[in-house]
Chain A
Amino acid sequence: MSEGHLSLFYKELEAGRLTGSKCKACGEVFVPPRPLCSRCGGETETVSLKGEGAIESFTVIHVPPVFLKDASPYILALVRLEEGALVMGRLLGYDPSKPEEVKMGLKVRFEALKEKHGEKEETIVAFKPLEA
Protein backbone atom coordinates (compact mmCIF):
# COMPACT_ATOMS: atom_id res chain seq x y z
CA MET A 1 0.00 0.00 0.00
CA SER A 2 1.37 3.41 -0.90
CA GLU A 3 1.82 6.20 1.61
CA GLY A 4 -1.12 8.65 2.02
CA HIS A 5 -0.26 12.31 1.54
CA LEU A 6 -1.38 13.19 5.06
CA SER A 7 0.32 10.29 6.82
CA LEU A 8 3.53 11.36 5.08
CA PHE A 9 2.92 14.96 6.19
CA TYR A 10 2.57 13.94 9.85
CA LYS A 11 5.56 11.55 9.74
CA GLU A 12 7.67 14.37 8.35
CA LEU A 13 6.21 16.82 10.87
CA GLU A 14 7.14 14.52 13.75
CA ALA A 15 10.68 14.51 12.37
CA GLY A 16 10.67 18.32 12.35
CA ARG A 17 10.14 18.84 8.62
CA LEU A 18 7.39 20.69 6.78
CA THR A 19 6.06 19.30 3.49
CA GLY A 20 3.58 20.58 0.94
CA SER A 21 2.50 19.95 -2.61
CA LYS A 22 3.35 21.92 -5.70
CA CYS A 23 1.01 21.89 -8.67
CA LYS A 24 2.68 20.68 -11.86
CA ALA A 25 0.23 22.80 -13.90
CA CYS A 26 -0.14 26.16 -12.11
CA GLY A 27 2.75 26.05 -9.63
CA GLU A 28 0.59 26.80 -6.57
CA VAL A 29 1.96 25.39 -3.30
CA PHE A 30 -0.37 24.06 -0.59
CA VAL A 31 0.19 22.68 2.90
CA PRO A 32 -0.46 19.87 3.78
CA PRO A 33 0.35 17.97 0.56
CA ARG A 34 -2.57 16.64 -1.49
CA PRO A 35 -2.87 14.65 -4.71
CA LEU A 36 -4.71 17.36 -6.71
CA CYS A 37 -4.19 21.12 -6.72
CA SER A 38 -6.91 22.93 -4.70
CA ARG A 39 -6.72 25.85 -7.12
CA CYS A 40 -6.78 24.29 -10.59
CA GLY A 41 -7.24 20.56 -10.05
CA GLY A 42 -3.85 19.75 -11.63
CA GLU A 43 -1.58 16.93 -10.52
CA THR A 44 0.95 17.76 -7.83
CA GLU A 45 4.33 16.69 -6.53
CA THR A 46 5.24 16.60 -2.85
CA VAL A 47 7.90 19.13 -1.90
CA SER A 48 9.95 19.92 1.22
CA LEU A 49 9.48 23.46 2.46
CA LYS A 50 12.10 25.64 4.08
CA GLY A 51 9.51 26.89 6.58
CA GLU A 52 10.40 30.58 6.61
CA GLY A 53 7.83 33.27 6.05
CA ALA A 54 5.96 36.31 7.34
CA ILE A 55 2.85 36.70 9.50
CA GLU A 56 -0.27 37.66 7.49
CA SER A 57 -2.70 37.50 10.39
CA PHE A 58 -2.83 36.36 14.01
CA THR A 59 -5.20 35.98 16.94
CA VAL A 60 -4.98 35.04 20.60
CA ILE A 61 -7.33 32.23 21.61
CA HIS A 62 -8.78 32.83 25.08
CA VAL A 63 -11.64 30.33 24.87
CA PRO A 64 -9.95 27.14 23.60
CA PRO A 65 -11.28 23.76 22.55
CA VAL A 66 -11.64 21.32 25.47
CA PHE A 67 -8.45 19.41 24.59
CA LEU A 68 -6.37 22.60 24.92
CA LYS A 69 -7.90 23.89 28.15
CA ASP A 70 -4.56 24.04 29.93
CA ALA A 71 -2.69 25.60 27.01
CA SER A 72 -4.72 28.83 26.63
CA PRO A 73 -4.32 31.66 26.02
CA TYR A 74 -2.17 30.94 22.99
CA ILE A 75 -1.40 32.71 19.74
CA LEU A 76 -2.42 31.39 16.31
CA ALA A 77 -0.91 32.86 13.16
CA LEU A 78 -1.38 32.54 9.42
CA VAL A 79 2.08 32.62 7.87
CA ARG A 80 2.89 33.19 4.19
CA LEU A 81 5.86 30.94 3.43
CA GLU A 82 8.56 32.04 1.01
CA GLU A 83 7.40 29.20 -1.27
CA GLY A 84 3.97 30.92 -1.47
CA ALA A 85 1.77 28.68 0.68
CA LEU A 86 -0.24 30.09 3.58
CA VAL A 87 0.01 27.98 6.75
CA MET A 88 -1.73 28.14 10.11
CA GLY A 89 0.39 27.46 13.17
CA ARG A 90 0.91 28.23 16.81
CA LEU A 91 3.08 31.31 17.32
CA LEU A 92 5.72 30.81 20.02
CA GLY A 93 8.09 33.33 21.61
CA TYR A 94 5.46 36.00 22.40
CA ASP A 95 3.38 36.71 25.48
CA PRO A 96 -0.30 36.01 24.62
CA SER A 97 -1.33 38.75 27.08
CA LYS A 98 0.54 41.32 24.94
CA PRO A 99 -0.90 40.92 21.42
CA GLU A 100 0.17 44.46 20.57
CA GLU A 101 3.79 43.19 20.52
CA VAL A 102 3.09 40.80 17.66
CA LYS A 103 3.56 42.63 14.38
CA MET A 104 2.01 41.81 11.03
CA GLY A 105 4.72 41.00 8.53
CA LEU A 106 6.99 39.64 11.26
CA LYS A 107 9.50 37.10 9.88
CA VAL A 108 9.11 33.66 11.42
CA ARG A 109 10.52 30.14 11.07
CA PHE A 110 8.63 26.83 11.23
CA GLU A 111 9.05 24.52 14.21
CA ALA A 112 7.29 21.25 15.07
CA LEU A 113 5.50 21.52 18.41
CA LYS A 114 4.68 18.43 20.46
CA GLU A 115 1.82 18.88 22.91
CA LYS A 116 -0.75 16.88 24.84
CA HIS A 117 -4.30 16.94 23.51
CA GLY A 118 -6.04 15.25 26.43
CA GLU A 119 -4.24 11.89 26.77
CA LYS A 120 -2.84 11.95 23.21
CA GLU A 121 0.49 13.45 22.22
CA GLU A 122 0.18 15.35 18.95
CA THR A 123 2.66 17.16 16.75
CA ILE A 124 1.43 20.42 15.24
CA VAL A 125 2.81 23.24 13.10
CA ALA A 126 4.29 26.15 15.05
CA PHE A 127 6.37 29.22 14.25
CA LYS A 128 9.05 31.20 16.09
CA PRO A 129 10.44 34.66 15.38
CA LEU A 130 13.31 34.32 12.91
CA GLU A 131 15.78 36.42 14.88
CA ALA A 132 15.23 34.51 18.15
Chain B
Amino acid sequence: MLAEGVYIVGAGMTAFSAKLHANKTGRELLVEATWEAVKSVDKGITLHKDVEALFIGYFTPEYYEHQSHIGPLAATWLGLTPKPAFRTEIACASSSAALFAGVTAVASGLYDVVLVAGVEKMTSLETERVTEALALASDDLSESKVGATFPGLYALLAQAYFRRYGATWEQLQRVPIKNHYNGSLNPKAHFQQTIGQMAEKVGKKLGVQYKDELDFLKNSPFNRVVAYPLRLFDCCPISDGAAVAVLASGRAARRFTDTPLRLLGVGLGTDNVALQDRADLTSLVATRNAAEAAYRTADISPKDLDVVEVHDCFTIAEWLAVEDLGLVGRGEAPRAYEEGLTGIEGEIPVNTDGGLKAKGHPVGATGIGMLNEVWHQLRGTAGRRQVKNKAETGLVHNVGGSGASAAVFIFGR
Protein backbone atom coordinates (compact mmCIF):
# COMPACT_ATOMS: atom_id res chain seq x y z
CA MET B 1 0.00 0.00 0.00
CA LEU B 2 1.08 3.56 -0.66
CA ALA B 3 0.75 5.60 2.53
CA GLU B 4 0.47 8.87 0.62
CA GLY B 5 -0.70 9.52 -2.92
CA VAL B 6 1.96 10.08 -5.58
CA TYR B 7 1.18 12.12 -8.69
CA ILE B 8 2.92 12.79 -11.99
CA VAL B 9 2.68 16.51 -12.75
CA GLY B 10 5.10 16.75 -15.66
CA ALA B 11 7.03 14.58 -18.12
CA GLY B 12 9.48 15.13 -20.94
CA MET B 13 11.98 13.28 -23.08
CA THR B 14 14.43 13.82 -25.90
CA ALA B 15 13.93 12.04 -29.18
CA PHE B 16 15.57 8.60 -29.01
CA SER B 17 18.11 8.42 -31.81
CA ALA B 18 21.48 7.14 -33.01
CA LYS B 19 22.19 10.27 -35.04
CA LEU B 20 20.50 13.37 -33.60
CA HIS B 21 22.53 13.52 -30.41
CA ALA B 22 25.98 12.67 -31.80
CA ASN B 23 27.45 15.92 -30.49
CA LYS B 24 25.81 15.90 -27.08
CA THR B 25 26.81 14.33 -23.77
CA GLY B 26 24.52 12.47 -21.38
CA ARG B 27 24.25 15.49 -19.07
CA GLU B 28 23.11 17.68 -21.98
CA LEU B 29 20.47 15.12 -23.00
CA LEU B 30 19.27 15.15 -19.43
CA VAL B 31 18.89 18.94 -19.47
CA GLU B 32 17.00 18.74 -22.78
CA ALA B 33 14.51 16.18 -21.40
CA THR B 34 14.14 18.07 -18.13
CA TRP B 35 13.43 21.30 -19.96
CA GLU B 36 10.59 19.64 -21.82
CA ALA B 37 9.25 18.23 -18.54
CA VAL B 38 9.36 21.72 -16.99
CA LYS B 39 7.41 23.12 -19.92
CA SER B 40 4.83 20.33 -19.63
CA VAL B 41 3.84 21.43 -16.10
CA ASP B 42 0.52 23.20 -16.65
CA LYS B 43 0.87 25.85 -13.94
CA GLY B 44 4.64 26.10 -14.21
CA ILE B 45 7.49 24.90 -12.00
CA THR B 46 10.80 26.43 -10.96
CA LEU B 47 13.30 23.60 -10.69
CA HIS B 48 15.68 25.08 -8.18
CA LYS B 49 12.91 26.32 -5.94
CA ASP B 50 10.37 23.48 -6.16
CA VAL B 51 12.31 20.23 -6.63
CA GLU B 52 13.57 18.69 -3.40
CA ALA B 53 15.51 15.66 -4.65
CA LEU B 54 16.71 13.98 -7.86
CA PHE B 55 16.93 10.28 -8.67
CA ILE B 56 18.53 9.28 -11.94
CA GLY B 57 18.97 5.97 -13.78
CA TYR B 58 22.02 5.46 -15.99
CA PHE B 59 23.24 1.89 -16.58
CA THR B 60 26.92 2.17 -17.56
CA PRO B 61 28.14 5.79 -17.71
CA GLU B 62 31.60 4.44 -16.77
CA TYR B 63 31.77 2.75 -20.18
CA TYR B 64 30.14 5.38 -22.35
CA GLU B 65 31.35 8.60 -20.77
CA HIS B 66 34.12 7.60 -18.36
CA GLN B 67 31.94 8.97 -15.59
CA SER B 68 30.45 7.80 -12.30
CA HIS B 69 28.86 9.89 -9.53
CA ILE B 70 26.04 10.81 -11.88
CA GLY B 71 23.57 12.10 -9.25
CA PRO B 72 25.45 15.22 -8.14
CA LEU B 73 26.75 15.78 -11.67
CA ALA B 74 23.18 15.86 -12.96
CA ALA B 75 22.20 18.18 -10.08
CA THR B 76 24.93 20.58 -11.16
CA TRP B 77 23.73 20.65 -14.75
CA LEU B 78 20.10 21.12 -13.69
CA GLY B 79 20.88 23.81 -11.15
CA LEU B 80 19.60 21.54 -8.38
CA THR B 81 22.64 21.58 -6.12
CA PRO B 82 22.56 21.18 -3.07
CA LYS B 83 19.43 18.96 -3.24
CA PRO B 84 19.92 15.22 -2.55
CA ALA B 85 20.76 13.40 -5.79
CA PHE B 86 21.83 9.85 -6.55
CA ARG B 87 22.01 7.30 -9.34
CA THR B 88 20.08 4.02 -9.45
CA GLU B 89 21.08 0.94 -11.44
CA ILE B 90 19.27 -2.28 -12.37
CA ALA B 91 20.53 -2.57 -15.96
CA CYS B 92 17.86 -1.73 -18.55
CA ALA B 93 15.38 -0.88 -15.79
CA SER B 94 17.66 1.69 -14.14
CA SER B 95 15.25 4.59 -14.55
CA SER B 96 12.42 2.49 -13.14
CA ALA B 97 14.58 2.17 -10.04
CA ALA B 98 14.86 5.98 -10.05
CA LEU B 99 11.09 6.22 -10.39
CA PHE B 100 10.70 3.74 -7.53
CA ALA B 101 13.08 5.79 -5.36
CA GLY B 102 11.07 8.92 -6.17
CA VAL B 103 7.77 7.19 -5.45
CA THR B 104 8.89 5.89 -2.07
CA ALA B 105 10.41 9.27 -1.18
CA VAL B 106 7.10 11.03 -1.87
CA ALA B 107 4.83 8.27 -0.53
CA SER B 108 6.77 8.28 2.75
CA GLY B 109 6.01 11.97 3.21
CA LEU B 110 9.71 12.88 3.15
CA TYR B 111 9.46 15.11 0.07
CA ASP B 112 6.64 16.84 -1.80
CA VAL B 113 8.30 17.29 -5.21
CA VAL B 114 11.04 15.15 -6.77
CA LEU B 115 12.55 14.81 -10.20
CA VAL B 116 13.10 11.30 -11.59
CA ALA B 117 15.19 10.79 -14.69
CA GLY B 118 16.98 8.32 -16.93
CA VAL B 119 19.65 8.73 -19.55
CA GLU B 120 22.08 6.69 -21.66
CA LYS B 121 24.51 8.11 -24.17
CA MET B 122 25.45 4.97 -26.10
CA THR B 123 26.69 5.99 -29.52
CA SER B 124 29.95 7.37 -28.16
CA LEU B 125 31.24 3.80 -28.48
CA GLU B 126 31.59 1.39 -31.41
CA THR B 127 28.86 -1.28 -31.60
CA GLU B 128 31.29 -3.96 -30.38
CA ARG B 129 32.05 -1.98 -27.24
CA VAL B 130 28.34 -1.25 -26.68
CA THR B 131 27.72 -5.00 -26.83
CA GLU B 132 30.37 -5.42 -24.13
CA ALA B 133 28.78 -2.75 -21.98
CA LEU B 134 25.34 -4.38 -22.27
CA ALA B 135 26.83 -7.80 -21.44
CA LEU B 136 27.70 -6.42 -17.99
CA ALA B 137 24.03 -7.03 -17.12
CA SER B 138 24.44 -10.79 -17.51
CA ASP B 139 26.33 -13.18 -15.21
CA ASP B 140 29.93 -12.57 -16.17
CA LEU B 141 31.17 -16.02 -15.15
CA SER B 142 28.33 -18.32 -16.17
CA GLU B 143 27.21 -16.43 -19.28
CA SER B 144 29.55 -13.80 -20.80
CA LYS B 145 32.65 -15.95 -20.38
CA VAL B 146 31.01 -18.90 -22.13
CA GLY B 147 30.21 -16.62 -25.10
CA ALA B 148 26.64 -15.48 -24.38
CA THR B 149 25.52 -12.10 -25.71
CA PHE B 150 22.23 -10.37 -24.91
CA PRO B 151 20.60 -11.39 -28.19
CA GLY B 152 21.92 -14.89 -27.40
CA LEU B 153 20.23 -15.00 -23.99
CA TYR B 154 16.87 -13.93 -25.44
CA ALA B 155 17.37 -16.39 -28.31
CA LEU B 156 17.64 -19.15 -25.69
CA LEU B 157 14.34 -17.94 -24.16
CA ALA B 158 12.75 -17.79 -27.63
CA GLN B 159 13.83 -21.33 -28.46
CA ALA B 160 12.48 -22.63 -25.15
CA TYR B 161 9.17 -20.81 -25.82
CA PHE B 162 8.93 -22.10 -29.40
CA ARG B 163 9.58 -25.61 -28.17
CA ARG B 164 7.02 -25.50 -25.38
CA TYR B 165 4.17 -23.94 -27.37
CA GLY B 166 5.00 -24.99 -30.93
CA ALA B 167 5.27 -21.32 -31.95
CA THR B 168 7.43 -20.12 -34.83
CA TRP B 169 9.79 -17.24 -35.69
CA GLU B 170 7.39 -16.29 -38.48
CA GLN B 171 4.57 -15.76 -35.96
CA LEU B 172 6.89 -13.68 -33.80
CA GLN B 173 7.40 -11.19 -36.64
CA ARG B 174 4.03 -9.63 -35.81
CA VAL B 175 5.88 -7.87 -33.00
CA PRO B 176 8.37 -5.78 -35.05
CA ILE B 177 5.77 -5.19 -37.77
CA LYS B 178 3.37 -3.69 -35.21
CA ASN B 179 6.03 -1.76 -33.33
CA HIS B 180 7.54 -0.22 -36.46
CA TYR B 181 4.07 0.84 -37.56
CA ASN B 182 3.55 2.52 -34.17
CA GLY B 183 7.02 4.08 -34.40
CA SER B 184 6.05 5.59 -37.76
CA LEU B 185 3.43 7.63 -35.84
CA ASN B 186 5.88 8.84 -33.18
CA PRO B 187 8.04 11.88 -34.04
CA LYS B 188 10.44 10.99 -31.21
CA ALA B 189 11.02 7.38 -32.31
CA HIS B 190 14.44 6.12 -33.36
CA PHE B 191 12.84 4.42 -36.40
CA GLN B 192 9.88 6.20 -37.98
CA GLN B 193 9.43 3.88 -40.93
CA THR B 194 7.14 0.89 -41.20
CA ILE B 195 8.81 -2.36 -42.17
CA GLY B 196 6.83 -2.14 -45.43
CA GLN B 197 8.47 1.19 -46.22
CA MET B 198 11.90 -0.25 -45.44
CA ALA B 199 11.17 -3.30 -47.59
CA GLU B 200 10.35 -1.05 -50.49
CA LYS B 201 13.52 0.99 -50.08
CA VAL B 202 15.80 -2.04 -49.69
CA GLY B 203 13.97 -3.82 -52.53
CA LYS B 204 14.56 -0.93 -54.89
CA LYS B 205 18.25 -0.91 -54.08
CA LEU B 206 18.60 -4.66 -54.61
CA GLY B 207 16.21 -4.86 -57.57
CA VAL B 208 13.93 -7.23 -55.65
CA GLN B 209 10.25 -6.95 -54.90
CA TYR B 210 9.16 -8.26 -51.53
CA LYS B 211 5.68 -9.74 -51.44
CA ASP B 212 4.95 -8.41 -47.94
CA GLU B 213 6.63 -7.43 -44.70
CA LEU B 214 7.16 -11.03 -43.59
CA ASP B 215 8.74 -11.87 -46.96
CA PHE B 216 11.19 -9.00 -46.44
CA LEU B 217 12.00 -10.04 -42.86
CA LYS B 218 12.49 -13.64 -43.97
CA ASN B 219 14.41 -13.20 -47.18
CA SER B 220 16.21 -9.86 -47.08
CA PRO B 221 20.00 -10.18 -46.64
CA PHE B 222 19.61 -7.02 -44.54
CA ASN B 223 17.82 -9.00 -41.82
CA ARG B 224 20.82 -11.15 -40.92
CA VAL B 225 20.90 -13.66 -38.08
CA VAL B 226 22.32 -12.19 -34.86
CA ALA B 227 21.68 -15.13 -32.51
CA TYR B 228 19.68 -17.96 -34.07
CA PRO B 229 16.71 -17.77 -34.43
CA LEU B 230 16.73 -14.02 -33.69
CA ARG B 231 17.70 -11.65 -36.49
CA LEU B 232 18.49 -7.94 -36.69
CA PHE B 233 14.81 -6.93 -36.70
CA ASP B 234 14.21 -9.03 -33.59
CA CYS B 235 16.58 -6.69 -31.69
CA CYS B 236 16.10 -3.13 -30.48
CA PRO B 237 18.60 -0.54 -31.73
CA ILE B 238 21.38 1.31 -29.89
CA SER B 239 20.07 4.80 -29.07
CA ASP B 240 20.95 7.98 -27.22
CA GLY B 241 18.27 9.62 -25.14
CA ALA B 242 16.96 10.88 -21.82
CA ALA B 243 13.56 10.99 -20.13
CA VAL B 244 12.28 12.79 -17.07
CA ALA B 245 9.17 13.00 -14.89
CA VAL B 246 8.16 15.30 -12.05
CA LEU B 247 6.50 13.60 -9.07
CA ALA B 248 4.46 15.40 -6.46
CA SER B 249 2.60 14.52 -3.28
CA GLY B 250 -1.18 14.89 -2.99
CA ARG B 251 -0.86 18.19 -1.17
CA ALA B 252 1.58 19.62 -3.74
CA ALA B 253 0.21 18.24 -7.03
CA ARG B 254 -2.59 20.80 -7.53
CA ARG B 255 -0.07 23.63 -7.33
CA PHE B 256 1.27 22.38 -10.65
CA THR B 257 -1.70 21.01 -12.58
CA ASP B 258 -5.40 20.21 -12.33
CA THR B 259 -4.92 17.02 -14.38
CA PRO B 260 -2.05 15.05 -12.87
CA LEU B 261 -1.68 11.30 -13.33
CA ARG B 262 -2.05 9.34 -10.14
CA LEU B 263 0.21 6.41 -9.37
CA LEU B 264 -2.17 3.54 -8.66
CA GLY B 265 0.14 0.59 -8.24
CA VAL B 266 3.79 -0.37 -8.08
CA GLY B 267 5.72 -3.64 -7.98
CA LEU B 268 9.31 -4.78 -8.28
CA GLY B 269 10.54 -8.27 -9.06
CA THR B 270 13.88 -10.05 -8.89
CA ASP B 271 15.11 -13.34 -10.32
CA ASN B 272 18.47 -15.07 -10.59
CA VAL B 273 20.69 -13.26 -13.10
CA ALA B 274 21.96 -16.34 -14.94
CA LEU B 275 19.42 -18.16 -17.12
CA GLN B 276 20.87 -21.42 -15.85
CA ASP B 277 19.71 -20.53 -12.33
CA ARG B 278 16.10 -19.83 -13.39
CA ALA B 279 13.12 -22.04 -12.65
CA ASP B 280 11.40 -21.30 -15.98
CA LEU B 281 12.72 -20.33 -19.43
CA THR B 282 9.33 -19.58 -20.98
CA SER B 283 8.34 -16.76 -18.63
CA LEU B 284 10.01 -14.04 -16.57
CA VAL B 285 9.20 -14.71 -12.93
CA ALA B 286 10.43 -11.21 -11.97
CA THR B 287 7.75 -9.69 -14.23
CA ARG B 288 5.06 -11.97 -12.81
CA ASN B 289 5.93 -10.99 -9.24
CA ALA B 290 6.21 -7.27 -10.06
CA ALA B 291 2.86 -7.36 -11.88
CA GLU B 292 1.11 -9.20 -9.08
CA ALA B 293 2.30 -6.60 -6.55
CA ALA B 294 1.33 -3.70 -8.84
CA TYR B 295 -2.18 -5.07 -9.53
CA ARG B 296 -2.62 -5.70 -5.81
CA THR B 297 -1.60 -2.16 -4.76
CA ALA B 298 -3.77 -0.69 -7.52
CA ASP B 299 -6.59 -3.13 -6.76
CA ILE B 300 -7.27 -3.63 -10.46
CA SER B 301 -6.92 -6.49 -12.93
CA PRO B 302 -5.28 -6.60 -16.38
CA LYS B 303 -8.75 -6.19 -17.93
CA ASP B 304 -8.90 -2.63 -16.57
CA LEU B 305 -5.89 -1.43 -18.57
CA ASP B 306 -6.37 0.86 -21.58
CA VAL B 307 -2.76 1.21 -22.70
CA VAL B 308 0.33 -0.83 -21.87
CA GLU B 309 4.05 -0.20 -22.33
CA VAL B 310 6.16 -3.38 -22.20
CA HIS B 311 9.87 -4.09 -22.40
CA ASP B 312 10.47 -5.46 -25.92
CA CYS B 313 14.29 -5.33 -26.05
CA PHE B 314 13.92 -8.41 -28.27
CA THR B 315 10.74 -9.55 -30.00
CA ILE B 316 10.31 -12.59 -27.77
CA ALA B 317 10.43 -10.29 -24.72
CA GLU B 318 7.14 -8.68 -25.81
CA TRP B 319 5.42 -12.04 -26.02
CA LEU B 320 6.73 -13.03 -22.59
CA ALA B 321 5.66 -9.64 -21.19
CA VAL B 322 2.05 -9.74 -22.37
CA GLU B 323 1.72 -13.22 -20.88
CA ASP B 324 3.54 -12.48 -17.62
CA LEU B 325 1.45 -9.30 -17.14
CA GLY B 326 -1.68 -11.41 -17.55
CA LEU B 327 -2.93 -9.57 -20.67
CA VAL B 328 -3.24 -12.99 -22.31
CA GLY B 329 -2.81 -16.52 -20.95
CA ARG B 330 0.44 -18.50 -21.05
CA GLY B 331 1.17 -19.69 -24.58
CA GLU B 332 -1.54 -17.44 -26.06
CA ALA B 333 0.68 -14.61 -27.33
CA PRO B 334 1.14 -16.03 -30.86
CA ARG B 335 -2.62 -16.16 -31.44
CA ALA B 336 -3.25 -12.79 -29.78
CA TYR B 337 -0.72 -11.20 -32.13
CA GLU B 338 -2.22 -12.86 -35.18
CA GLU B 339 -5.58 -11.42 -34.17
CA GLY B 340 -4.16 -7.91 -33.69
CA LEU B 341 -5.19 -7.73 -30.03
CA THR B 342 -2.28 -5.42 -29.12
CA GLY B 343 -2.43 -2.96 -32.04
CA ILE B 344 -3.29 0.70 -31.44
CA GLU B 345 -6.86 -0.10 -32.46
CA GLY B 346 -6.82 -3.45 -30.67
CA GLU B 347 -8.40 -4.43 -27.39
CA ILE B 348 -5.19 -3.88 -25.37
CA PRO B 349 -2.84 -1.49 -27.20
CA VAL B 350 0.77 -2.43 -26.39
CA ASN B 351 3.76 -0.18 -27.11
CA THR B 352 1.85 2.55 -28.92
CA ASP B 353 5.09 4.59 -29.05
CA GLY B 354 6.89 1.91 -31.09
CA GLY B 355 8.35 0.04 -28.12
CA LEU B 356 12.04 -0.42 -27.60
CA LYS B 357 12.17 -1.93 -31.08
CA ALA B 358 11.19 1.20 -33.00
CA LYS B 359 11.18 3.99 -30.43
CA GLY B 360 14.70 2.99 -29.37
CA HIS B 361 16.37 1.81 -26.17
CA PRO B 362 18.77 4.25 -24.51
CA VAL B 363 19.00 1.73 -21.69
CA GLY B 364 18.88 3.99 -18.62
CA ALA B 365 16.17 6.23 -20.13
CA THR B 366 13.74 3.50 -21.16
CA GLY B 367 11.51 3.14 -18.08
CA ILE B 368 10.75 6.84 -17.75
CA GLY B 369 10.51 7.01 -21.55
CA MET B 370 7.62 4.55 -21.22
CA LEU B 371 6.07 6.71 -18.50
CA ASN B 372 6.19 9.61 -20.97
CA GLU B 373 4.03 7.61 -23.38
CA VAL B 374 1.47 6.78 -20.69
CA TRP B 375 1.51 10.47 -19.66
CA HIS B 376 0.51 11.46 -23.21
CA GLN B 377 -1.99 8.65 -23.76
CA LEU B 378 -3.82 9.34 -20.49
CA ARG B 379 -3.88 13.10 -21.09
CA GLY B 380 -4.99 12.65 -24.71
CA THR B 381 -1.88 14.28 -26.21
CA ALA B 382 -0.41 11.27 -28.04
CA GLY B 383 -1.19 12.72 -31.46
CA ARG B 384 -1.54 10.29 -34.36
CA ARG B 385 -0.94 7.29 -32.13
CA GLN B 386 -3.58 8.23 -29.54
CA VAL B 387 -5.61 5.18 -28.56
CA LYS B 388 -9.22 5.41 -29.63
CA ASN B 389 -11.19 4.99 -26.49
CA LYS B 390 -10.33 7.45 -23.80
CA ALA B 391 -7.48 5.92 -21.85
CA GLU B 392 -8.08 5.99 -18.10
CA THR B 393 -5.48 3.50 -16.90
CA GLY B 394 -1.99 2.75 -18.20
CA LEU B 395 0.80 0.34 -17.24
CA VAL B 396 4.58 0.55 -17.59
CA HIS B 397 6.68 -2.63 -17.56
CA ASN B 398 10.47 -2.36 -17.59
CA VAL B 399 12.93 -5.27 -17.44
CA GLY B 400 16.59 -5.30 -16.40
CA GLY B 401 18.94 -7.61 -18.32
CA SER B 402 17.52 -10.94 -19.37
CA GLY B 403 14.84 -10.72 -16.68
CA ALA B 404 16.60 -10.62 -13.31
CA SER B 405 14.95 -7.27 -12.58
CA ALA B 406 11.47 -6.10 -13.42
CA ALA B 407 9.41 -3.08 -12.47
CA VAL B 408 5.70 -2.48 -13.06
CA PHE B 409 3.89 0.83 -12.47
CA ILE B 410 0.19 1.51 -13.00
CA PHE B 411 -1.12 5.03 -13.53
CA GLY B 412 -4.60 6.49 -13.69
CA ARG B 413 -6.08 9.86 -14.57
Contacts and interface: CB of A to CB of B under 8 A. Distances in A.
Contact of A58 (B128, B132, B156): B156
Interface in B235-281: 272, 274-279, 281
Nearest to B129: A66
Interface residues of B, number: 37
B68 interface: no
Chain A: interface residue count, which band?
Answer: 20 to 34
Contacts of A30: 277
Contact of B227 (A60, A85, A86): A60
Interface in A56-102: 56-66, 68, 71, 74, 76, 78, 85-90, 99
Interface string B31-62: 00000000000000000000000000000000
Of A57, A61, A86, A90, chain B has the most CB atoms within 10 Å of the CB of A57
A63 B135 contact: no
A71 B148 CA distance: 12
B390 interface: no
Contacts of A104: 159, 163
A76 B141 contact: no
Contacts of A58: 156, 159
B113 to A, nearest CB: 39
B28 interface: no
B227 A38 contact: no
B402 to A, nearest CB: 11
Contacts of B229: 59, 99
A58 B281 CA distance: 12
Given A65-B135, A68-B147, A60 B142 contact: no
A6 interface: yes
B145 A63 contact: no
A129 interface: no
A49 interface: no
B382 interface: no
A125 interface: yes
A61 B147 contact: yes
A12 interface: no
B225 interface: yes
A33 to B, nearest CB: 12
B273 to A, nearest CB: 10
A31 interface: yes
Interface string B275-318: 11111010000000000000000000000000000000000000
Interface in B101-153: 128-129, 131-132, 135, 141-149, 151-152
B214 interface: no
A85 B279 CA distance: 10
A61 B230 CA distance: 10
A36 interface: no
Nearest to B142: A88
Contacts of A76: 146-148, 152, 156
B156 A65 contact: no
B77 interface: no
Contact of B276 (A31, A71, A122): A31
B227 A63 contact: yes
Contacts of B2: none
Interface string A91-132: 000000001000010000000000001000010110000000
Given A88-B148, A88-B275, A60 B160 contact: no
Contact of A57 (B141, B160, B224, B272): B160
A57 B156 contact: yes
Interface in B183-229: 224-229
B11 interface: no
A64 B152 CA distance: 9
Contact of B147 (A31, A74, A99): A74
Of A31, A63, A117, chain B has the most CB atoms within 10 Å of the CB of A63
B147 A32 contact: no
B407 interface: no
B278 A86 contact: yes
A38 B147 contact: no
Given A62-B225, A65-B131, A57 B163 contact: yes
Given A38-B277, A71-B147, A88-B148, A63 B160 contact: no
Given A59-B155, A62-B228, A99-B228, A125 B272 contact: no
Given A59-B227, A61-B149, 9 more contacts: A56-B160, A57-B156, A58-B159, A59-B159, A61-B147, A62-B224, A63-B227, A66-B131, A88-B143
10 contacts: A31-B142, A32-B141, A57-B160, A59-B155, A59-B228, A62-B227, A76-B148, A76-B156, A78-B156, A99-B228
Interface of B: 128-129, 131-132, 135, 141-149, 151-152, 155-157, 159-160, 163, 224-230, 272, 274-279, 281
List the 7 shortest-distance A-B pairs measured between CB atoms, nearest first: A59-B155, A60-B228, A57-B160, A57-B159, A86-B276, A57-B156, A99-B228
